[in-house]
Amino acid sequence: MIARLALSLLLLLAACAVTAPAAWTHSDTPAPEIQGQAGLNERLGQKIPLDLTFRDEAGRPVRLAELISGPTVILPVYYRCTNVCSVLQTRMAAALQSLERTPVTDFRVISFSFDDTETPELASRSKATYLAAIRKPFPEAGWRFLTGDQAAIRRLTDAMGFGFQRQQGDFAHPVVSVVVAGDGTIVRYLSGVTILPKDLALAIAEAKSGIAGASIRKLVDFCFSYDPVGRGYVFNLLRISAVVVVLCGGGVLTFLLFGGRKRKNLTKN
């Protein structure tokens, strides 16, 4: 009995270790609220409108419902940005290089420009740049780059709680990756330019539907807690420690109860 309890404990800790991030929180602090329209107002649990139509890298119209059929990471950026937007997408490319998930099948990434003056040509150039930065085979359909008109952009950013404000040739805006489920439900916000592969994997697991996804989510919920301040996943040491104590205590109690009876029976015989 004790051996079984010990084996269960080891399996639980091993499962948690497999999914444990190397570092537990993002190093970037959440984007501060900016006066005016710029800032982030999280809308966890709400849905983005999947009926919106944007233009893809080739200038073809594409509905979000055609792209979002499973866990999807959305990056609100503008392609002419040489500062945080380019850093965010570069870090995303690095995270995707280390992510042990199958693009298109398990997840998809979408960059979309919130600058309605940007063109599909810019989107196409950005796509070529960031896909080339992923130093392993990565399907083009796994990371899409979109542009759109002002109405579609505003509906999507409003649904995500993402506020931006044009300031001359640039924009004031939060820096965030928004993770949604296949039905458009907002699951997580990962703030800052630092994207940890394990944080990304855990967010994708949370967004995944189906029996396997539900099992993974239960494990994630048990082993990790999402830190809304640091916008990352932290290992729930207190919960795991409690399990260790309960299992050890239960093992000792079982041994005392049944081990004592077995010794009495042997003595009688």
- Predicted confidence at residue 167, as pLDDT, reads 87
Q: Which CATH number does the domain housing residue 149 bear?
A: 3.40.30.10
Confirm whether 96 is domain-assigned: yes
Amino acid residing at 23: A
Confirm whether 252 is domain-assigned: no
pLDDT in tens, 142-168: 999 999 999 999 999 999 999 999 988
CA 62, 66, 39, 81 torsion: positive or negative?
Answer: negative
Contact 205, 223 (CB under 8 A): no
Confirm whether 204 is domain-assigned: no
Cβ contacts of 77 within 8 Å, gap of 6 or more: 85, 88, 89, 111, 112, 113, 114
pLDDT in tens, 30-85: 344 333 478 999 999 999 999 999 999 999 999 999 999 999 999 999 999 989 99
Cβ contacts of 96 within 8 Å, gap of 6 or more: 103, 109, 134, 138, 143
Confirm whether 13 is domain-assigned: no
Q: How many domains does the chain have?
A: 1
For the chain, first and last CA: distance in Å? Answer: 23
Q: pLDDT: is 11 or 77 the higher one?
A: 77
- Predicted confidence at residue 260, as pLDDT, reads 57
Confirm whether 222 is domain-assigned: no
- Predicted confidence at residue 254, as pLDDT, reads 63
Confirm whether 232 is domain-assigned: no
Tell me what the mean pLDDT of segment 187-209 comes to: 90
Tell me the C-alpha distance between 177 and 143, whole Å: 14
Tell me what the mean pLDDT of segment 119-144 comes to: 96
Contact 165, 37 (CB under 8 A): yes
Assess whether pLDDT exceeds 60 at residue 243: no
Confirm whether 160 is domain-assigned: yes
Highest mean pLDDT among 5-9, 10-14, 136-140, 232-236 belongs to 136-140
**Which of the residue ranges 52-66, 171-185, 212-226, 234-248 would you say has the lowest mean pLDDT?**
212-226
Show the domain range for 116. Answer: 31-195
- Predicted confidence at residue 237, as pLDDT, reads 54
The model's pTM: 0.68
- Predicted confidence at residue 119, as pLDDT, reads 97
